[in-house]
A and B are shown apart, each in its own frame.
Chain A
Amino acid sequence: MTMHPINRRRFLRDYGLPAAAAPFLFGLPSVSGAVLDPAPRRLIIVFSPNGIVPDALWPDQPGPIDKFKPILEPLEAFRTRVSTLRGVCNRVRGLGDGHMRGMSCLLTGNELFPGNIVGGGGTTPAGWAKSLSIDQHIKNLLQQDEQTRTRFGSLEFGVAVPNRADTWTRMCYAGPNQPVAPISDPRQMVDKLYGEVKDKQSLLSIVDGVKDDLKRVSGRLSPEDRELLERHLELVADMQAKLELADANDSRHHPVPDIDPEIELVNDNTPQVSRVQLDLVVSALANNMARVSTVQYMRSVGMARMKWLDVEEGHHSLSHEPDNNQDARDKLIRINRWFAGEIAYLAKQLADTPEPGGVGGSMLDNTLIVWTNELGKGNNHTMNDIPFVLIGGENLGVQQGRAVSFEPNVTHNRLLMALAGAMGHELDHFGLERLCQGGALDLA
């Protein structure tokens, strides 16, 4: 078997060799994936919490969307490339409160294990989700196939997600009882994506100095000792040559984006953090590091204070206000418009980036964005009419530019199956089998 150098590390990893045995730096595959797929299918799931304001989001009637309601207005430039799916319901019941199930069953379509976490309203305590989430399932399917395999498979981004692991902060699961923590620190994400490239560059910037040091020090030594340093110098020169070669490869295939991740992670910097994270999503996908990505804003029951929107109250408290509280309603619309604006920014970056494989079109043509939430509405904790807004991804067979209303309502498991289908993998069921009757929803 000849092994493509790019897959060597993955081979090592997949076949259980310790990470320590993996080659170091210059032995590494370049950070990008294999030969570029001319038309890759990509999926980005964006989460925002605490429900929405239904009449400020859902179009008035099914069919082509002529005009957006206020929450979707920031997406106006993409109106013909946006679809809203109404009537999709999270029917998973069992342990845990609405927020817990809303969050941890959203992408898994399955119940929660018994556990020690008590939700609001005195519900029976619950633990983690019973099975893996759709993003991880799709990632696993893609990674099994040489054609669709990438360095990471999937990337889990967070924006202002608190460092607390519980049923309200985790929507991605690698398996039963295996929550996946989103990365909310852009620096950490830059390190994950580009750390090795940057290490090579840092080393290259100092290696001449090290060679000088070795020569300078050698001069003082006995001939026998000098021999040792000469050997050392040879090894350093050899490393330098390999680094230069690797660096040339890196910069040819995937320039490190000029992104400054050095933002203090405080609440008020959330807008900047959001943009950096979204830039990193686009750059990682463009560099073919993953085909699936999730972006989680805050958490279920999140209490972000969006002062940059002139909202002083915590988000979750606002979402509990009755419908007739006009001030709260205005603020919730403002909050959700902001999320929509961030998604519009993401869509624009994708639309402005030509598909790297050179087949024409933009990345957005091949990338489906799904914006969703753990609830339909905050003050009644309904998991009916959960907002699912789809943007772009027409090459995945998704028909855009329309408001869809499912009557009767459908389970969200069927939508999760449809996402897998759009990514090239038809599923018989996903999550709780009894909620999959009727099969994948038709998005075409």
Chain B
Amino acid sequence: MKYLVCIIAFIAFTSCVEHPTNVVVIDAMPVIYPDYVGVTIPASIAPMNFSVEESGLELVDVRVVGSEGGEIHVRGEWADFEICEWHTLLSQNIGGTLTFNVMAKVNGEWQRYKPFEMIVSDCDMTDYGVVYRRIAPGFETFSTLGMYQRCLATFEESAIIESRAVDGSCMNCHYSNRGNPEQFSLHIRGKHGCTIIHNGDEDRYLNTKTSETAGACTYGYWHPEGRYCAYSLNRIYQNFYVGPDKIIEPWDAVSDIAILDTHSDELIVSPLMSTHDFETTPAFSADGRTLFFCKAPYCEMPAGYNQLHYSLCAVAFDEKRGAFGDSITTILDGDNLGKSISLPRPSYDGRWLMFCMTDYGTTPLNRMESDLYLLDMQTGITRVMDEVNSNESDAYHNWSSDANGWFLFGSKREDHLYSLLYFALVDETGHATKPFLLPQRNPKEYYRENLHSFNAPDFTTRKVELNVQQTRSEVLSGRVSAVRIKH
């Protein structure tokens, strides 16, 4: 009797599964969202779920076949792969390709498209995930924002800390030391303003505003050895455009660079880096001996906003003495290029330096023309990364801690407003693969409903652990240590 019930149930179940008949063959690849056709992916990435863009779509049937073996078959409203099956398939096909055979039932009729491929890279991406600030791209205020982390192997996203935990205070970017979750800095703004330095089990709450410096610590970057963190000290204002393509122009009234010694809470300043000119967005080289940054000659602001061309510069840094070198080297001259450089990010193996270039100014995220560029540190040759750039802003890039070419960046290519996360791989020649959008369980629905930008993203090697209640209590208590100035 038991077996009979099972057989009947099986027959009933299988009879419900529709077998495509009279399939129309389409001589084109499917239009899918996100556009994952031909992308290169790391073996650890979450299922690359997608939707087929067809009006009248009823069902999607996808069979993924690995070049080295393995197969997955899914059917539903969108291609929704089971996480374990997906990872098994990817681990079988490292260095190989996945072929996606897609059929779609459109207005009652099945159609088969030309298959497309994804390449499974043999370059590991061992990072646990990514960390970003999720914020609506507003102008003078924000509602709910927070620092979040997202596991790259699954779709799990969790809040590290949200503004609601600290009485709605604004918080700025999270800077970790090469993705190390044990060492990061985080700024809280407003009434309870402070800079949180998380170092292992210890959290320090610092007031980095001093009477001698331009402003509080803003854009940060850790020295690889973990004792120092370089910051730009900015006093930021913004103005607004009236035309259709641009809307906001943030600018620095004052902008200097200093280095925080996290052992002594001293802010190391130098006359070289605290000039009348504008110095900003520092980043240490892979060996920690050089500090890259951007610098623009002083001009009256905001009147000279469109003459502001930042150059890519470097200055030596002596870790033992905790001191800047004596001279600044200009690597790429913004005035000569007629462009403005920002956000230098050296790869952790020291081979590349990626940066943004815009027509002028210092906030690439607000500039449609912002593109990513790659400087080969061995040859000194710079190239525009056309293969990853778009017509909208491409900025806020960071390298994977694996130092094997994987990087992420934010781009507003989807809709001009919201910056989303993309990943790509730079090969030995400095060319990048086609970027792919951060996968989601149901990407179409997720990104359609998303009203946040993924701001200042970076990789994290492991999950970030922050005691929210303790942080809240410390931040709201106002017990912050003042930094001392070291000349």
A and B are interacting partners? no
Residues of A within 8 A of B (CB): none
